[in-house]
Amino acid sequence: MDTTNRSFITVSWSRLIALVVGDALVFIIFAFLGRSSHGLVDENPLLASLRVGLPFFIGWLLIAPWFGLFRQQPPLRMLWLTLGAWLIALPLGLGLRWLQLGRSSPFSFALVTFLTVAALLLIWRGAYSWWMARRA
């Protein structure tokens, strides 16, 4: 069954769900890796990872549809669009994190966040796009 957003997206529900769940896992993994690399084990790791990753995931969800990232793309195009969308979503996520914490994050945090999430998103979305292209 297809849903249509008349402005710019036509996507199947199953593809949309797979992409959103996969993206959510990327942000949870990013937060879990970051917290564990700093030895932070003071609370439930899953809840803490959800709390840390949520502002970036929200920023991603607000930007990604404008880049056509919830519809089928050829693998190479998916990689470029993903990178472009993440470049715009990162500052939005940092702003939401600032609102969440009441303070800004250092540049080093922004840089590591950009690189880590970019790598995870490119691996996940590149593999998904490649798999869907093979199935077609």
| 15 DSSP β-pair partners | none
Looking at the chain, the whole-number percentage of residues with pLDDT higher than 70 is 89
Q: What is the pLDDT of residue 12?
A: 84
- For 131, the domain range is 2-135
Q: What is the pLDDT of residue 20?
A: 97
pTM, full prediction: 0.87
Q: What is the pLDDT of residues 45-62, one digit of tens each?
A: 888 889 999 999 999 999
| 53 DSSP β-pair partners | none
In this prediction, residue 43 has a pLDDT band, given cuts at 50, 70 and 90, of confident
Based on the structure, what is the number of domains in the chain?
1
